[in-house]
Structure 1
Amino acid sequence: MHGLINRSIQCFVQDTYGAPAWRRVAEAAGVGPEGFEALLSYEDALTERVLDALQAYLDKPRDMVLEDLGTYLVSHPTREGLRRLLRFGGETFLEFLHSLDDLAGRARLAVPELDLPELTLVAHDGGRFTLVSAWHMPWAAPLVMGVLRAMADDYGALVLLEPETGAPEHIMITLLDSRFAEGRAFALGRA
């Protein structure tokens, strides 16, 4: 697993639950207290141990922990860079959804060795979509669902998101109102 992903998990724990929580999770997973270096690669099994330790520490289902992580990646003030990258996907939430097919490729332009889930959007009638995530790790969909929730809020869209029964890599998306609330300000150039 790329260190950027592991480091993001570490920062999520530290920023959300504090440094003592990270020390406990790291110790339980067999990671040094200094944590992860963003530019290194780590065995996938280590990432799994960190997620297991975090799930046990929080006493929450893994999908809920991953969805919270996805929300954090977009909404926390320290993660503004990722939010900006995602907002380049379009001026509206609908345009953003249609840009997700290219997200992994755009990320590889910046970090060639970064392996992200490949996302495929399938449009249905009535503002309904299915987002299919394909990745070597089985937990992409709940992570992506958290990102989608945060981005819907960012755009001011009212969206219903739910996993598809029997297809854990599928997220059902219903765009109820694309202008439900005022979204967060965004400009191409930094202010």
Structure 2
Amino acid sequence: MYGLINKALKDMIQSEFGEEQWQAVFEASGIPQDSFLTMRSYDDQLTYALAGAASEVLGAPVEACLEMFGVYWVKEVAAKAYGSLMDATGQDMVGFLANINGLHDRITGTFLNYVPPEFQIESIDEKHHRVHYISQREGLTPFVVGLFKGLADHFSCELEIQSQEPVGVDRGEHTVFEVTLQ
């Protein structure tokens, strides 16, 4: 993953829990450095080590930490760094999710070897939707839950996730969410 992700995780821990907690997370992670170059690609295991250490230090399940990070990503990182792209991607959450692959395509040239996740949305009716999250990476579905919650707040709508079911894949993960948006 890119340094942008690791830096944002560091920033979230510092802003939500303080510098002392960040230092504890950093030490528990066993990673060699705590500064990250935004555009540099780092081994995914480094990010997973940070998430695991955050879970350990903060006394919360790693899934809860990843979900919190997803909300933070939308509110603090995406809205500030990519606000105009977000605005151009959709006027509501359904439109945004329908066009998010295009947003990822636009930023692909910015990051070398960028392999974004894919989202597919099926509208069952005006309020009920099925969202497919497909990624070559494993273990990030809780982060996506946080993204959904952050996007619901961003678009001033109410989100209810009725279910999230994994789909068997050979590599990565594929999760199908049944959601209601109002």
TM-score normalized with structure 2 length: 0.83
Tell me the residue number matched to 1:68: 68
Tell me the residue number matched to 2:8: 8
Q: Secondary structure at the match of 1:31?
A: coil
User: How far off its partner does 1:66 sit?
Assistant: 0.9
Q: Secondary structure at the match of 1:97?
A: helix
Deviates more, 1:148-157 or 1:159-168: 159-168
Structure 2: distance between partners of 1:38 and 1:100: 21
User: How far off its partner does 1:169 sit?
Assistant: 2.0
TM-score normalized with structure 1 length: 0.79
Structure 2: distance between partners of 1:165 and 1:100: 21
Q: Secondary structure at the match of 1:110?
A: coil
Q: Secondary structure at the match of 1:76?
A: helix
Tell me the residue number matched to 1:180: none
User: How far off its partner does 1:172 sit?
Assistant: 2.0
Tell me the residue number matched to 2:20: 20
User: How far off its partner does 1:56 sit?
Assistant: 0.8
Matches within 5 A, 1:157-176: 157-167=157-167, 169-175=175-181
Aligned AA (2:69) = L
Matched-pair identity in %: 24
Structure 1 residues 27 and 53, CA gap change in structure 2 (3 angstroms): same
> Is the Cα contact below 8 Å between 2:97 and 2:120 reproduced in 1?
no
Tell me the residue number matched to 2:98: 98
User: How far off its partner does 1:156 sit?
Assistant: 1.4
> Is the Cα contact below 8 Å between 2:165 and 2:175 reproduced in 1?
no
User: How far off its partner does 1:94 sit?
Assistant: 2.5
Structure 2: distance between partners of 1:153 and 1:23: 30
Q: Secondary structure at the match of 1:91?
A: coil
> Is the Cα contact below 8 Å between 2:97 and 2:119 reproduced in 1?
no
User: How far off its partner does 1:83 sit?
Assistant: 4.2
Structure 1 residues 77 and 69, CA gap change in structure 2 (3 angstroms): closer
Matches within 5 A, 1:41-190: 41-76=41-76, 80-167=80-167, 169-175=175-181, 177=182
Structure 2: distance between partners of 1:68 and 1:59: 13
> Is the Cα contact below 8 Å between 1:89 and 1:99 reproduced in 2?
yes
CA shift digits 1:65-111 (9 cap, x unpaired) = 11110111122389512344323212222321211232322221433
CA shift digits 1:119-166 (9 cap, x unpaired) = 222222352222222223223322122122122122211221254245
> Is the Cα contact below 8 Å between 1:145 and 1:171 reproduced in 2?
no
Give unpaired runs (5+ residues) of structure 2: 168-173
Structure 2: distance between partners of 1:162 and 1:76: 26
User: How far off its partner does 1:52 sit?
Assistant: 0.8
Q: Secondary structure at the match of 1:99?
A: helix
Over the aligned positions, Cα root-mean-square deviation in angstroms equals 2.4
